[in-house]
Amino acid sequence: MLLQIPDLLTTAQVRRARELLSDAPWHAGSTTAGSQAASAKHNQQLPRHCEAARFVSRSVVEAVERSPLLLTATLPRRLVAPQVNRYGGDWPSYGEHVDNAVRTDPETGDRVRTDISCTVFLSDPDEYDGGELLVRDSFGAHGVKLPAGHAVIYPGTSVHQVTPVTRGWRLACFFWIESLVRSAEQRRLLFDFDVALMHLREAHGDDDHTVALSGAYHNLLRMWAGH
Stretch that binds Ni ion, among 98-106, 175-183, 190-198, 199-207 (CB under 5 A): 98-106
Choose the stretch contacting Ni ion; rule: CB under 5 A; options: 22-30, 45-53, 95-103, 207-215: 95-103
CB of 147 to Ni ion, least distance (A): 21
- Give least dist CB 96 to Ni ion, A: 10
In whole angstroms, the minimum distance from the beta carbon of 61 to Ni ion comes to 19
The answer to the question of residue 115 lying near Ni ion (CB under 5 A) is: no
User: Which amino acid appears at position 156 of this protein?
Assistant: G
Backbone angles phi, psi at 214, to 5 degrees: -60, -40
Helix (H/G/I), strand (E/B), else coil: 94: strand
Q: Strand 159-162 vs strand 151-155: parallel, antiparallel, or unpaired? A: unpaired
Least CB distance from residue 160 to Ni ion, whole Å?
6
Q: CB 8 → Ni ion: shortest distance, Å?
A: 18
Residue 99 binding Ni ion, by CB under 5 A: yes
**Cβ-closest position to Ni ion:** 99
Stretch that binds Ni ion, among 79-87, 91-99, 101-109, 137-145 (CB under 5 A): 91-99
Which of 114, 138, 122 lies closest to 56, judged by CA? 122
Nearest to 169 by CA among 134, 129, 120: 129
Q: What is the C-alpha separation between 112 and 176, in angstroms, rounded?
A: 8
Write out the binding residues for Ni ion, residues 120-179 only, by CB under 5 A: none
Please work out the total of residues on this chain that contact Ni ion, with binding judged by CB under 5 A: 1
Closer to Ni ion at the Cβ: 99 or 132?
A: 99
Q: Which listed range, 80-88, 96-104, 164-172, 204-212, lies at the site for Ni ion (CB under 5 A)?
A: 96-104
Those residues with Cβ within 8 angstroms of residue 120's Cβ, 6 or more apart along the chain or in another chain: 8, 9, 60, 82, 149, 150, 151, 172, 173, 174
Please, are residues 137 and 155 in contact by the beta-carbon 8 Å criterion? yes
Shortest distance (Å) from residue 132 CB to Ni ion:
14
Whether the Cβ atoms of residue 137 and residue 74 lie closer than 8 Å to each other: no
- Binding footprint of Ni ion on the chain (CB under 5 A): 99
